[in-house]
Structure 1
Amino acid sequence: MSGRHRATEENSPILYLSLPTYLALCFNLLVAPIVYAASSNEFSRSQAWSLGLLGLGTVALSIYLFFVMFVPEKF
């Protein structure tokens, strides 16, 4: 097994992306009901989930762009 990489190694892209995805979905468990309650039943549950994920993606992108603008040496 010397030439093969296992999914548990540190350089695996699966582990690199799985933790942020898992945390975003867990955080969306908190955001989606708030969006659903604030819309007074104008949105379906799937629309509330989609809006929650869209909001999380927007916040994540803005944080990333903030760091790229002010600390460009790292990128």
Structure 2
Amino acid sequence: MPDLPDRDSEASEASGETGAGVSPPETDAERRRRRARFLHELAEARELRDRVQPRRAKAARLRHAMRMRTFRW
């Protein structure tokens, strides 16, 4: 179908790569910093969800406790 864009061009646009310039490879420190920021934001989101949905948070705590009791080392 000529009116649809190529998959290859969509993938390169989504990853931020353009034909003009390729970004240098990411260093380990940058990756760890980005991962730490993501995990921090994820924890904040979970805390917020637990505050606004206390019943679901309680059920999740109970399920987790049951899993931990039945887990075999």
Where on the TM-score scale, by shorter chain, does this alignment land: which range? 0.3 to 0.5
TM-score by length of 2: 0.42
Larger Rg: 2
Which fold has the larger relative contact order, with Cα–Cα distance below 8 Å and residues 6 or more apart in sequence? 1
Whose helix fraction is larger, Structure 1's or Structure 2's? Answer: 1
